[in-house]
Chains A and B, each alone.
Chain A
Amino acid sequence: MPRPTHASPQTLRLFEALLTEPDRWRYGYDLSRETGLASGTLYPILMRLAAQQLLDTDWEASDEPGRPPRHTYRLTADGLALARERLTAAARKQRGPAAAFVPRKA
């Protein structure tokens, strides 16, 4: 069976990071540090999520002089639902079929 969309380990790591504080606007470098994903992995995932309206994006003006405005990200309601669903599915899968089958004690 093909893997459902947005279920790669990298995407799941990003979902975890975005779900810790779903209301806070996050930015690329901070997400990259938290997830350990390189920019070349992180940005394409963000692009894909944003293109499917799972991710809100915004430009946040800089509070320090000389720093350019930042592109910030937050999951949309759809994105939140999908992220939770994918993470629970992954957790269930990790426990594995052996855990799903609990033999009855005699």
Chain B
Amino acid sequence: MRRVARTVLVAAVRGRRDRGGPWGEAALAEFDQTTGRWEALRWAAGGLRAVWHERRARIKTLPRGVRLQRALVGAALLSVPAAVVVNQFLLTPRYVPSGSMEPTVQVQDRILVDRVSFRLTGVRYGDIVEFTTPRVPGYPVLKRVIGLPGDTIECRGGQVYRDGTALNEPYLDTPAATENCGAAVTVPAGELFVLGDHRVVSQDSRQWGTIPVDAVDGRLLTKFWPLP
């Protein structure tokens, strides 16, 4: 334990140099005075703090240009892992390879998918969610949430009904174009009924049935390309 503490302190004080700054060396020179492992450990920990203070004082004396350069390099290095974390868990940019959500999202649009907020607010009617389904292997799909658990969804004459009430769907290009729904579906617990906005071409819950809520991994936040 004492040896480890000493080694750490030496490494912190000297780094790759033969001799560190005077204050670090001072703390190091006193290290052998300590008795017992806990006192040694405490001394070494305090020594690290002294080294840190000394280092900060030394950095302050460096020319402004060097300090700026170091700060920039540090920021650049930190931003890489930060960007990976944001990209994977918070906001994910995606390319849209399909026209099934037209006109809301066009083919070749770039969108931002919010990976967090739907977990806080829950999935709501009209949300455009991203999920993966075994029916579309390879990439996640975007669809609009039409039915939540307990809802009964059906369509007659191209119009969608939720629990017998016709939906007002201003986001559609051609109203009353929702065909091939089959029999009325009651959404089971933990599932969602989803439809693409481009009802004529979209493959969605009409073919696949309801999808599990757990499959949802994000919600459309905004389209960022082409620029609005």
Decide yes or no whether B47 CB sits under 8 A from chain A: yes
Neighbouring B residues of A87 by C-beta, 8 Å: none
A67 CB-CB contact with B under 8 Å? yes
Bound Cα distance A67, B46 (Å): 20
Whether B48 is near chain A, meaning CB under 8 Å from some CB there, is yes
Of the candidate stretches B50-58, B121-129, B146-154, B158-166, the one touching chain A is: B50-58
In the complex, whether B103 has a CB less than 8 A from a CB of chain A is no
The answer to the question of B23 belonging to the interface, with a C-beta cut-off of 8 Å to chain A, is yes
Given the complex of chains A and B, what is the CA–CA distance between A62 and B29 in angstroms?
Answer: 10
Q: Is the CB of B22 within 8 A of A42?
A: no
Instruction: Determine if B26 and A38 form an interchain contact, defined as CB atoms under 8 angstroms apart.
Output: no
A29-B34, A51-B57 known; A40 vs B45 contact (CB < 8 Å): yes
Report the minimal beta-carbon distance from B6 to chain A, rounded to whole angstroms: 12
Q: Could you tell me if B22 and A71 are in contact, using CB atoms closer than 8 angstroms?
A: yes
Are A28 and B27 touching (Cβ within 8 A)?
yes
Q: Which residue of A lies closest to B26 (CB)?
A: A71
Q: How far does the alpha carbon of A46 sit from the alpha carbon of B49 in the complex, in Å?
A: 13
A70 within 8 A of B: yes
Chain B interface residue bracket vs A: 20 to 34
Chain A residues in 8 Å Cβ range of B42:
38-39
Which chain B residue shows the least CB distance to A59? B22
The CA of A71 and the CA of B50, in the complex, are separated in Å by 14
Could you say which interface size class chain A belongs to?
A: 20 to 34
A contact residues around B50 at 8 Å (CB) = 39-40, 43-44, 47
Decide if A40 touches B22 in the complex (CB within 8 Å). no
For window 16-31 of A, CB contacts with B under 8 Å fall at 27-29
The reply to whether B46 and A47 contact each other, CB–CB distance below 8 Å, is: no
CB B14 to nearest CB in A, in angstroms, measures 12
In the complex the two chains form, what is the Cα distance from A44 to B81 in whole Å?
33
Residue of A44, A69, A71 near B49 (CB, 8 A) is A44
Q: Check if B26 sits within 8 Å of A43, measured CB to CB.
A: yes
In the complex, A88 has a CB within 8 A of chain B: no
Tell me the residues in window 31-75 of chain A with beta carbons closer than 8 Å to chain B beta carbons.
Answer: 32, 38-44, 46-47, 51, 57, 67-71
Contact across chains for A70 and B57 when beta carbons are under 8 A apart: no
Q: Does A43 contact B53, Cβ atoms closer than 8 Å?
A: yes
Whether the pair B23, A43 counts as a contact (CB closer than 8 A) is yes
Residues of A within 8 A of B25 (CB): 68, 71
A43 touching B49, Cβ below 8 Å = yes
Residue B33 is within 8 A (CB to CB) of chain A in the complex: yes
List residues of chain A with CB within 8 A of the CB of B46. 38-43
Best-surrounded residue of A40, A41, A46, A47 (most CB of chain B within 10 A): A40
Given contacts A32-B43, A51-B57, 14 further A-B contacts (CB under 8 A): A28-B30, A29-B33, A38-B45, A39-B30, A39-B46, A41-B49, A42-B46, A43-B46, A43-B50, A43-B53, A67-B32, A68-B25, A68-B28, A70-B26
Residue numbers of B with Cβ under 8 A of A are: 22-23, 25-30, 32-34, 42-43, 45-50, 53-54, 57
Nearest 7 pairs between A and B by C-beta? A39-B46, A40-B46, A71-B26, A40-B49, A43-B50, A29-B30, A29-B33
